[in-house]
Amino acid sequence: MSAYPKIVVTPPGPKARELVKKDESLISPSYVRFYPLVVESGKGCIVKDVDGNEYIDFNSGVACLNVGHNHPKVVAAIKSQCDRFLHYSNTDFYYREVVSLAEELSQITPGTFEKKVFFSNSGTEAVEAAVKLAKWHTRKQLFLGFIGAFHGRTIGSLSFTASKPTQRRYFFPLMPGVTHVPYPYCYRCPFKLTYPDCHYWCVDFIDEFVLQKYVPAEDVAAIVFEPIQGEGGYVVPPPEYFQRLKKLADKYNLLLVDDEVQAGMGRTGKWFAIEHWNVEPDILCIAKALASGLPLGATVAKAKLMDWVGGSHASTFGGNPVSCVAGNAVIEVVNEEKLLENATRQGGYIVKRFEEAKEKSEIIGDVRGKGLMIGVEMVEDKESKKPASEKASEIMRRSWRRGAVVVTCGASTLCITRELVDSALDIIIDCVKEVEKEA
């Protein structure tokens, strides 16, 4: 039996309620808050709230804490850097911390070709840099993106984001020139076809109905994609999808921009999710788990593409030395503790347990994922596949109150143990049963 979770007061407790009230009066209401979890501290796979409750963390700081909360190696690297210097704008001067992380990133990203790295502070900035670089290098203005995508919320990346109308409402005009095409969401195929009988019509459609009909291919700089859609519902493309997309890109000389902000840094059991499809992108975006929660974004490109000149793109804080040493420590920890292997092992077990639960449930429609990037799609019934978003939210809130924190798409820290997985899954699957029974 696991010692966790430990619920000492039904959440949200009094201290959490007080803080939330204050937050509501001071903080922008545009943030997305899942439930009133008010964090006091974290260690490994456990997060503690201000009222003393200790939860098994299946949120991983929203996919940022792949090596767990406050990994001692990461904390030691940060402390030691803090004693040396906190900032000295990599945009204008030099320091070894960025070079050292760039060296590591060019080793762990797919492709043995020479690479160069642009450092920023976040996922959206990593995508902005990729888009600007693609424009600069190709001198072309058009892009293809995907319906259901999430690439960030600044105007450039928002032009590619297409998973919820709220993200875009009232913000038009966005960056012109982005055409969205259907993502290979086999459980709900936009073409109402079935894999594998569809013969990847979703790729041929881009060729025959988009590039040959109304988006002039010679003006398209790149295809921007997530290897597994995150915010869009943890949608995993079928086995040959990206090989075929690459063939299409090669046919028309388009760059492939792979947004690994959520799926990267080991989350799927490989350093980068696109490796599951054995494709080497031209430009790759990283953030979230890169520096274990410290702000850091990286845009890694084939060296020959990074031909822009001084002043064409830069960032005062991008590549902050404290964040960079945290990034190097994260890579070391993932390697030393064999966390890629653990993600594959524990993820396989989680999928198996949800598959078993699905057999006995009418509201678990689909279980999918790679490594520890796992989504469980809730439906009103398996026949209609009508999305059951309210039920999913209720399961999420109940699981939290009982000590397993999870958002509607699950992703734990890569260092999660079988014991904690079992404890959390017992709670979550129990909550599914309860909600199903009450319907």
Ligand X SMILES: Cc1ncc(COP(=O)(O)O)c(C=O)c1O
Residues binding ligand X (CB under 6 A)? 122-124, 127, 150-152, 226, 230-231, 259, 261-262, 287
Q: How many CB atoms lie within 10 A of CB 174?
A: 15
Measure CA 375 to chain center: 12
Residue 150 is among the residues annotated as catalytic for this protein: yes
Question: Closest CB to ligand X among 53 and 323?
Answer: 323
Q: Of all helices (H) and strands (E), which one includes residue 366?
A: strand 364-370
Q: Is 269 left (phi over 0), alpha (psi -120 to 50) or beta?
A: left
Which residue in 134, 146, 138, 288 sits closest to 225, CA to CA? 146
- Closer residue to ligand X (CB): 152 or 375: 152
**Smallest distance, ligand X to C-beta of residue 286, A:** 10
Supply the minimum distance, in Å, between the C-beta of residue 119 and ligand X: 13
Judged by beta carbon, residue 122 or residue 342, the one nearer ligand X is: 122
How far apart, in whole angstroms, are the C-alpha atoms of residue 249 and residue 271? Answer: 23
Q: Which is nearer to ligand X, 37 or 126 (CB)?
A: 126
CB of 282 to ligand X, least distance (A): 17
Catalytic member of 49, 51, 57, 259: 259
Report the distance separating Cα 406 and Cα 54, nearest Å.
14
- Minimum distance, C-beta of residue 222 to ligand X, in the bound complex (Å): 15
Shortest reach from residue 198's CB to ligand X, in Å: 25
| Sheet strands (E) in 4-120 | 39-43, 46-49, 54-57, 115-120
Which of 13, 297 has the CB closer to ligand X? 297
Shortest separation between residue 7's beta carbon and ligand X, angstroms: 28
Is residue 315 within 8 A of residue 296, CB to CB? The reply is: no
One of 118, 119, 146, 150 is an active-site residue; which one? 150
- Please identify which of the residues 115, 246, 270, 288 carries the catalytic annotation: 288
How open is the CA angle 399-386-384, to the nearest 5 degrees? 125
Q: How do beta strands 373-378 and 404-405 pair? A: unpaired
Closer of 147 and 193 to ligand X (Cβ): 147
For the bound state, the minimum distance from the C-beta of residue 22 to ligand X, rounded and expressed in Å, comes to 24
DSSP state of 82: H
Q: Sheet harboring 115-120: ordered strands across?
A: 115-120, 297-302, 283-286, 255-259, 220-225, 142-146, 178-181
Site of tokens 């903080």 = 27
Cβ-closest residue to ligand X?
Answer: 123
Closer residue to ligand X (CB): 51 or 231? 231
- DSSP 8-class letter at 387: B
Query: Does 288 participate in catalysis according to the annotation?
Result: yes
Residue 250: Cβ-neighbour burial (10 angstroms; 0-12, 13-18, 19+):
exposed
d(CA 113, CA 307): 15
Which residues carry out catalysis?
A: 150, 259, 288
